[in-house]
Homo-oligomer: A and B are copies of this chain.
Amino acid sequence: MITINENYLKLQASYLFSDIAKRVASFQEKNPDREVIKLGIGDVTRALPKACIDAFHKAVDEMAVDASFRGYGPEQGYAFLREAIAKNDFHARGANISADEIFVSDGAKCDTGNIQELFSQDITIAIPDPVYPVYLDTNVMAGRTLNFEDGRFKGIVYLDSTKENNFVPALPKEPVDLIYLCFPNNPTGSTITKEELKTWVDYARANKALILFDAAYEAFIQDESLPKTIYEIEGAKEVAIEFRSFSKSGGFTGTRCAFTVVPKECVAYDTTGKVHSVHALWNRRHCTKFNGVSYPVQKAAEALYSEEGKVQAKELVDYYLKNAELICTTMEELGFTYDGGKNSPYVWIWGNMDSWEFFDMLLNKAGVVCTPGAGFGKCGNGYIRISAFNSYENVVKAMQRIREAFGK
């Protein structure tokens, strides 16, 4: 008899986006003439940079001719892209990452979801709250959690991220083996300083732990004192894997390209204490279960590192940051407190309401859709996330409406 992986039955159904859709539909029914402005979803809205489009077309043309046609590429990605990444994203920041430590993939979601396969079943895992749900769900599927009680899984060490700690969690009190961190954070938009990040790297080195550092929003960092990669921190290569994506930096959410950095120094252990290379393990997984990213997509991604590409990608990021700034100033005017929005496309806002009250108020009074923070974890309750991913015109209109709703 074919039996299922019963860990899947432990997964909590997420009603977040369907609940949002229901409330929006009900609002629209009552207000058929009211245009709703959606600042809820973390998806880009602007066209790909011209440099990417040109490179994309050129690569498609190569695929049209036998002589330049490309079949299977290296599973890890083409050298042209891996080298451009190493040079621009790491060497330029003083981080000594080589091209063969970079694994190109079709998404940071896949990579952050798949990475846990390399590790044993009985490790202790630390996951921030609130956070992107993939880290937790993929560990639930793998059987690393116990019962779900009072909104949380037993067997997971949650790293509370609250206004009290500026959304940068404290080191865990109990020993943990695998630590997920995400900065700039989704959903809070908070950042981490080099000094704070160093305490995590030092913890991992002292405790033989491993950090999974999700830096998918790195491109939004404007403050030059903040780390753009964890490898700016001394000793991080031994204890950290970094996830990056072109989704937000180049508008690639529908084009699909990302990469994961697994330094060769990065180690894990077997039960006898013997040291193993995490690079070798990930390489084996990547080659066994993945067949590389589409060649034209890799060429389009490479173009983000050309001179024009860099300028155009910066324009894209600046565009969304201008939206974020407008959201921040509006929230300030209205007396709300917030984090994010400076080095992040997300603004994380709190007042004296629970997440859904706040959501309903913005929807009903202003026709603006945000995301209730409670959807990202227990610590997200009381907060909402407003995303800067929309046109400037829509953000202006949305903020104007919110101001009016509050009588300003």
Instruction: Name the interface residues of A194-219: CB closer than 8 Å to any CB of B.
Output: 207-210
Which B residues are CB-close (under 8 A) to A208?
Answer: 1-2
Interface residues of A in 256-298 (CB under 8 A from B): 256, 268-271, 273, 276, 278, 281, 284-285, 288-297
How long is the Cα–Cα vector from A254 to B118 in the complex, in angstroms?
Answer: 27
Min CB gap A407→B, angstroms: 33
Q: Does A37 contact B (CB under 8 A)?
A: no
A296 to B56, CA, bound (A): 10
Distance between Cα atoms of A72 and B254 in the complex (Å) = 5
Q: Is the CB of B1 within 8 A of A177?
A: yes
CB of A170 within 8 A of chain B?
Answer: no
Let me know if A72 and B43 touch, CB within 8 A: yes
Q: Which of B66, B72, B177, B251 contacts A253 (CB 8 A)?
A: B72
A38 → B minimal CB distance (Å):
12
How far in angstroms is the closest Cβ of chain B from A59?
9
Interface size of A by Cβ–Cβ distance < 8 Å? Answer: 80
Flag if A268 contacts B4 (CB, 8 Å).
yes
Residues in chain B near residue A292, CB distance under 8 A: 254, 256
What are 20 inter-chain pairs, A to B, with CB distance below 8 A?
A1-B273, A3-B269, A4-B276, A5-B118, A5-B119, A6-B120, A8-B118, A44-B71, A48-B64, A48-B69, A50-B64, A69-B254, A106-B294, A109-B290, A109-B291, A113-B289, A138-B289, A255-B294, A255-B296, A256-B294
**Residues of chain A at the chain B interface (Cβ within 8 Å):** 1-6, 8-9, 11, 41, 43-48, 50, 53, 56-57, 60-61, 63-66, 69-73, 106-107, 109-110, 113-114, 117-123, 134, 137-138, 141, 177-178, 207-210, 251, 253-256, 268-271, 273, 276, 278, 281, 284-285, 288-297, 391
